[in-house]
Amino acid sequence: EPEVTQTPSHQVTQMGQEVILRCVPISNHLYFYWYRQILGQKVEFLVSFYNNEISEKSEIFDDQFSVERPDGSNFTLKIRSTKLEDSAMYFCASIEGSGQETQYFGPGTRLLVL
């Protein structure tokens, strides 16, 4: 069964550094998402992406965040200047669309900002 994949599984970075989290959604899916989960807390929506543009973003998704689908397979989340509070698990998810709403999550990238 196809799965959403994410790399890296873990990333440690210094405050102020840029990080890029990578995701490969399921190949025939059309809607893409990033969520984050701070340790012990609920999953929070960051951004949705459809038809090569952002369709919605949350208050968390400020100017330090950006998303890109540079080719037909990858979907990336960039944090330009990381802060301590960006430490979290970041999940990518995708949906097929066309009436199919089931959202499939990737395994996550655990980001630790020191």
Partner 1 sequence: GENVEQHPSTLSVQEGDSAVIKCTYSDSASNYFPWYKQELGKRPQLIIDIRSNVGEKKDQRIAVTLNKTAKHFSLHITETQPEDSAVYFCAASSGGGSNYKLTFGKGTLLTVNP
What residues line the site for partner 1 (CB under 8 A)? Answer: 31, 33, 35, 41-45, 48, 50-51, 55-56, 91, 95, 97, 101-108
Please identify, using beta-carbon distances, which residue of 17 and 45 lies nearer to partner 1: 45
**Shortest Å distance, C-beta 29 to partner 1:** 11
**Shortest Å distance, C-beta 44 to partner 1:** 7
By DSSP bridging, strand 53-57 and strand 43-50 are antiparallel
DSSP, collapsed to helix, strand or coil, labels residue 40 as coil
Please identify, using beta-carbon distances, which residue of 31 and 82 lies nearer to partner 1: 31
Distance CA 88, CA 86 (A): 6
Q: What angle do CA 68, 65, 104 make, to 5 degrees?
A: 60
The structure tokens 């873990």 sit at: 10
Please identify, using beta-carbon distances, which residue of 71 and 101 lies nearer to partner 1: 101
